[in-house]
Amino acid sequence: MQLLEDRIARDGVVKSGNVLKVDSFLNHQIDIDLLDALGAEWARLFQDKPITKILTIEASGIGIACMAALHFDVPVVFAKKTQSLNLDGEMLCTKIDSFTHKKTFDVIVAKRFISPDDHILIIDDFLANGCALRGLIELVGQAGAVVEGLGVAVEKGFQGGGDDLRARGYRVESLAIIESMDAESGAICFRTA
């Protein structure tokens, strides 16, 4: 999506350790017009799918998922990260390795918020190795619901998570795919279709 690529090229900052900072427009300060445009694009791409809910993970997925949900007119459920898991049977739960925090979180969603009739669109801000999205897919599977697709704002294609999910048959719609980036020069190259 040209609008997002242009914004990343203008305001994204490449850090060491394969981290792209987009905190001036996507996940700290938030440009709501940009998020609205991302939501409209996913609504167009997934218009053939009977989406009933959007699932994301706290914290930075929430704003993006909520703006997208306005275009689908469905509720948003966000998975919560917790370090003290109190399993009471009412929760769907899995573990996710955090790329940015370098630790493993237990991640939970209350069972009552995803039912076997649900058709879920999973949305997140970044796709790197794919741990976060695989964890969310696992939660949907535990609920017996259907994953209709995965909507990602920024995929770092060189980390392989997106292509792995596509190879497993998931429809992944990333609105910008970074093929390479360099912390020293700040250069960012996008994948062309």
Annotated binding residue 156: yes
Q: Is 130 annotated for ligand binding?
A: yes
* Residue 121 · residue 42 · CB < 8 Å: yes
Is 15 annotated to bind a ligand? Reply is: no
List residues binding ligand 5GP (CB under 6 A): 19-20, 22, 27, 60, 99-100, 124-132, 161
Q: How far is the CB of 183 from ligand 5GP (least distance, A)?
A: 11
Q: How far is the CB of 137 from ligand 5GP (least distance, A)?
A: 12
Nearest to ligand 5GP of 86, 185 (CB atom): 185
Instruction: Extract the tokens encoding 182.
Output: 């360099």
Distance (Å, rounded) from C-alpha 144 to C-alpha 159?
A: 29
Q: Cβ 107 to ligand 5GP, closest distance in Å?
A: 11
Toward ligand 5GP, which CB reaches closer, 18 or 142? Answer: 18
Q: Please tell me whether 129 is known to bind a ligand.
A: yes
CB of 17 vs ligand 5GP, minimal distance in Å = 9
Smallest gap, in angstroms, from Cβ of residue 88 to ligand 5GP? 26
The DSSP-derived string for the chain is -HHHHHHHHHH-EEETTTEEE-TTTTSSS--HHHHHHHHHHHHHHTTTS---EEEEETTHHHHHHHHHHHHHT--EEEEEEESS----SSEEEEEEE-TTT-SEEEEEEEGGGS-TT-EEEEEEEEESSSHHHHHHHHHHHHHT-EEEEEEEEEEEGGG-HHHHHHHTT--EEEEEEEEEE-TTT--EEEPP-
Specify the residue, 17 or 50, whose C-beta has the smaller distance to ligand 5GP.
Answer: 17
131 carries a ligand binding annotation: yes
- Name the binding residues for 5-phospho-alpha-D-ribose 1-diphosphate: 128-132
The annotation places the binding site for xanthine at 20, 27, 156
Q: Extract the annotated binding site.
A: 20, 27, 128-132, 156
